[in-house]
Amino acid sequence: MPVEMGRGARAALPRVTLVLGGARSGKSRYAERMVEAAAAVGTYCATAQAGDAEMAARIAAHRARRGAFWRTVEEPRAIAAVIAAEAADARPLLIDCLSLWLSNLMLANAALEEESERLYAALRLANGPVVLVANEVGMGLVPETALGRRFRDAAGFLNQQIAAFADRVVFVAAGLPLVLKGG
């Protein structure tokens, strides 16, 4: 965490924070530390689903890293409802991650525009700070498949929309944060 706090002091979280980065960039851990520095407890909304052994191992590693500070809610698609039910000043909400949420929606043939509007509305009405984690997928190779290109484009648009709305946006590369908005 870039801000040093005195004993017992808490860092204030903006209402909505977006933490972006590539795969294994340190974005999730950075987001966790932000919430841990700001509150006595937090809620962790995990959107991942274990579709194979590798993903199951990633989920297990994330679970093992979280301690008693976190109350975990596993929800692959209905994150607007989680925001409405869980975001509170005394218990900030971390959503990890928007990219998996988007993938889950696309694989379920859900109406992306409607689901995104639900998300934006929930963020506007949230009763406490929300920290959202997302992959920045548009910086690499152009995906070979039409579905891959559709996902990349939808993820880029979603990230732009959330970043425009967010009070703070942080890009994490190699474990190092770069504040893009709301320093």
- Give pLDDT, residue 133: 98
The C-alpha atoms of residue 52 and residue 119 are separated, in whole angstroms, by 27
- Give pLDDT, residue 82: 98
User: Does residue 181 have an active-site annotation?
Assistant: no
Count Cβ atoms within 10 A of the Cβ of residue 146 and give its class: 0-12 exposed, 13-18 middle, 19 or more buried.
exposed
Q: What is the pTM of this model?
A: 0.92
- Give pLDDT, residue 44: 97
- Give pLDDT, residue 4: 36
Decide if pLDDT at 2 tops 50.
no
Residues 6+ apart with CB under 8 A from 63: 72
Domain ranges of the chain: 16-181
Q: Name beta bridge partners: 17.
A: 131, 168
Per residue in 123-135, pLDDT tens? 999 999 999 999 9
Q: Which CATH number is 16-181 given?
A: 3.40.50.300
- Of 89, 99, 159, give the one whose Cα is nearest residue 130: 89
ω into 45 cis (within 30 of 0):
no
* Active-site choice (29, 62, 66, 71): 62
pLDDT (average), residues 13-42: 96
